[in-house]
Amino acid sequence: MFSNLYDKETMQGASSSYSEEDEIKRKTTAPVIICVVCAIICVIAALLVLFVIPSKLNIFGKHTEKNSEQEQVTNLPSEEINQQEQIAEIPPEPEPIPAKEDEIVIAETPEAVVPEPPAPAPEPIEDIRYKIVWGDTLWDISNAYYKTPWKYKRIANYNGIKNPDHIISGNWILIPAE
């Protein structure tokens, strides 16, 4: 309907400028789309590095084992420490006489073999007191202390936590001994 309004020169100029604008838009949209996709991939990778991978590395397990060993060493009475030092100071046995080929040796008196007394029963492990920090879940705490995350309900029941998904940082809980 309005094709007769413009002369041929104007139409040619308009159509040529329109096609140039079209080409410019086409040339700039592809890099923009690629940049947006790369940005999304970078955000997803950053989230994986920050949240998923550290939970699989069992950060709590390494920390708690060191603390529990230190606590056990510091809780030993001085008598037990002295006994351990005395055990370490026992002199080594003399070296046996080297064997000779084609000789039979008969012992004059047989050695008396005295069995070692059985090791004392280990003391029962006490409950562990743990302070909840931001980002903790009972699932991760259970995985750190029991080496299996499926015992999180045991921790929740032991501490009277009605909703295991809702724990507050700063609170202290007791982790029951196995």
- 150 DSSP assignment: G
Type of residue found at 12: Q
The string of pLDDT tens digits covering residues 50-89 is 776 666 665 555 554 455 554 554 554 555 555 555 555 6
pLDDT at 80: 56
The string of pLDDT tens digits covering residues 108-167 is 777 788 888 888 887 777 888 999 999 899 999 999 989 899 999 999 999 999 998 889
Q: Is 14 helix (H, G, I), strand (E, B) or coil?
A: helix
Q: Is 115 helix (H, G, I), strand (E, B) or coil?
A: coil
pLDDT at 131: 93
What residue has token string 């029941």? Answer: 157
The string of pLDDT tens digits covering residues 79-98 is 555 555 555 566 667 777 77
